[in-house]
Amino acid sequence: MIKEDELRNIIAQNIIKYRKANGLTQLDLAYKLHYSDKAISKWERGDAVPDIYTLYRIADLFNIKITDLLHLSEEPVNAAYSKQSTNLLIALISALIIWLGASIIFLVFKLLGGVFKNDWLTFLYAIPINCFVFFIYARLWFNKRIEFISFTGFVLGLTILAYFIFWAYDLPGRIYTLLVGALAEIIVIIYYYFEKAYNKAKDERLLKLFEEDKEDK
């Protein structure tokens, strides 16, 4: 049976390994977990061990299983990220397909000899479509930062598309498309800000409950 000191050292080594593999400093990891960098330093020295909930959050952050933190493995860290790499490849291929589709449609309109006067708008349609696809992938596989960037890009892409459609067809009121787009961007930013604040407060409450429960025991 493994001893407590050995388990501490194993967890410490794994936290260091996965933290560095993700390009994070101790301060970065502390910020994401809502701990101090001193706490991270203690974990990595083996002087302390994260509680079970924090271990779950660390594993979720690094896209690994909790058991990966509890066992030493000679397996390269890159192997643990094969799924993440596959997901990224799928997202990039999807983006390539969207732009390839836009290019094909543009060429078809050109070959048809001016059937669609403003055929260059095809590429502007591809911008919000591409951003929305990345937003869906971010919801499924990636982090909140990519989700936020993708959705703000989607709103911005729609705004640009609407403005140039109004401009291309000489429609009145194109300035309002910019105003509506700016308002939509502000709403998105406010929503994500408050969502982040809410999640942080919820995590802090849960951590406090865990600490109180640990003290009672």
Cα 119 to Cα 109: distance, rounded to the nearest angstrom = 6
Query: With contact defined as beta carbons under 8 Å apart, do 45 and 12 qualify?
Result: yes
Position 79 pLDDT exceeds 80: no
Position 188 pLDDT exceeds 50: yes
CA proximity to 149, closest of 157, 97, 95 = 157
Coil, helix or strand at residue 43: helix
Cα 28 to Cα 48: distance, rounded to the nearest angstrom = 19
**φ, ψ for residue 34, nearest 5 deg:** 65, 40
Cα 209 to Cα 88: distance, rounded to the nearest angstrom = 36
Cα 201 to Cα 81: distance, rounded to the nearest angstrom = 30
Position 138 pLDDT exceeds 70: yes
**φ, ψ for residue 3, nearest 5 deg:** -85, 160
pLDDT tens-digit map of 94-134: 999 999 999 999 999 888 876 778 889 999 999 999 999 99
Half-sphere exposure of residue 8, counting CA atoms within 13 Å on the CB side? 13
Structure pTM? 0.64
Confidence band for 159, pLDDT divided at 50, 70 and 90: very high
> For position 1, what pLDDT does the model report?
66
pLDDT tens-digit map of 18-43: 888 877 888 878 878 888 888 899 99
Q: Which amino acid is at 34?
A: H
Tokens 């001893």 belong to residue = 3
Query: With contact defined as beta carbons under 8 Å apart, do 12 and 44 qualify?
Result: yes
Cα 169 to Cα 180: distance, rounded to the nearest angstrom = 19
Cα 60 to Cα 54: distance, rounded to the nearest angstrom = 10
